């Protein structure tokens, strides 16, 4: 018997519960920096050392936190379902919790890539990237993160997965950041839909969604228990 397919669209909220700082503060700054200074191709051209330092600090922080009950619950679903995680997060908490199919829409903090060949990726395992660190072609390495103004290379793959969902779980995202937020509308009309977030997005059409106004770490274990029970 073919397993049902659960697609999870996750955002910053689920990782914030593990202690990962969200990029954008209430004042619009990202850890004290303007977006334009640390997260655009122009910033990289203007001051690569500042950009590298910004992401190096975030990468170091990643290894000071652990997956929370929300991440662990999603991984547990794989015992009864096929599970595809489409995440807007650049951390590796889903993988560390045990999820095996994770699509990183905005890149991965713990990978570096060549600036002349985007297919050349290098695991960092928590190490910093420094000026002078190059690929075998002699090109400076940069964070493997999608900056503002850059294409989202995994978008087509993510859309194809969302279009085959039997169950869609949207968790920890405000659904403001496009194109990723558009994935919530890609699931088939027959798919069951769940939206988990303490603050439900007023701008989003939640018709057809079962809305759970709680944090991921509290709501997901209960929802997963229900879904596993249904699967037998």
| Residue 121: C-alpha distances to residues 117, 136, 151, 198 (Å) | 9, 11, 17, 36
| 15 beta partners | none
Q: Say whether 71 is catalytic.
A: no
Round the CA-based radius of gyration of the chain to a whole number and report it.
18
In 3D space, the residue among 73, 71, 104, 112 whose CA is nearest the CA of residue 88 turns out to be 104
The label of the residue with tokens 């004290």 reads 32
The residue annotated as part of the active site, out of 71, 94, 106, 144, is 106
How many residues are listed for the chain in this entry?
232
Contact 183, 173 (CB under 8 A): no
Active site residues: 106
């Amino acid at each position: 018997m073919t397993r049902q397919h659960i697609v999870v669209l996750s955002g910053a909220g689920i990782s914030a519960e593990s202690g990962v700082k969200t990029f954008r503060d209430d004042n619009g700054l990202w850890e004290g920096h303007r977006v334009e200074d640390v997260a655009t191709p122009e910033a990289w051209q203007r001051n690569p050392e500042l950009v590298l330092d910004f992401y190096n600090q975030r990468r170091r922080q990643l290894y000071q936190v652990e997956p929370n009950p929300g991440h662990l619950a999603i991984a547990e679903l794989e015992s009864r379902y096929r599970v595809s995680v489409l995440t807007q997060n650049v951390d590796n908490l889903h993988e560390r919790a045990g999820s095996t199919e994770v699509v990183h829409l905005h890149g991965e903090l713990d990978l570096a890539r060549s600036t002349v060949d985007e297919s050349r990726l290098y695991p960092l395992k928590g190490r910093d990237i420094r000026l002078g660190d190059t690929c075998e072609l002699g090109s400076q390495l940069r964070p493997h993160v999608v900056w503002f103004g850059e294409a989202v290379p995994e978008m087509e793959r993510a859309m194809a997965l969302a279009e085959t969902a039997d169950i869609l779980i949207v968790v920890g995202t405000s659904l403001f950041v496009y194109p990723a937020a558009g994935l919530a509308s890609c699931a088939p009309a027959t798919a069951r839909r769940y939206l988990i977030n303490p603050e439900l997005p007023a701008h989003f059409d939640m018709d057809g969604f079962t809305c759970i106004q709680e944090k991921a770490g509290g709501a997901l274990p209960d929802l997963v228990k229900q879904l596993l029970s249904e699967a037998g």
